[in-house]
Structure 1
Amino acid sequence: DVKIEVGNDTIDVHAEEITGAERDRIYKKQASLYPQFAQYQQKTKRTIPVMAFTPKTRR
């Protein structure tokens, strides 16, 4: 679990790595929106992780 900043707000979230075909689909979409983003993967042999953040509910 982590905290992220969105604008001026800090939000408690659960972080989860997305893998496989879903990771590839999301990464491809990101790269189509920001072409320089695709260059990051070309410059390394490791797989750049894709993360999903889900807000934690208050109890």
Structure 2
Amino acid sequence: MRIAEDEEELKKQMDAVSKRLVRFAFILIIGVVLTQILLQNDMVRHWVTAVEHWEGEAYR
């Protein structure tokens, strides 16, 4: 991507970049929320993490 030569072109490039950043942030937030929801399931948590195995006896 080249640097804009005039102010209008620079504004367009900045708008395009900011839209991509907002979209990326939204996707990350959705990913974090989905991950937290999935980790509430014991089977998924057992498959994804090994922390409970390291801790020994599970607290219930």
| Fold in common (TM above 0.5) | no
When normalised by structure 2's length, the TM-score is 0.28
Higher relative contact order (Cα pairs below 8 Å, separated by 6+ residues): 1
- The structure having more radius of gyration, on CA atoms, is 2
Give 1 or 2: higher helix fraction. 2
When normalised by structure 1's length, the TM-score is 0.28
Give 1 or 2: higher strand fraction. 1
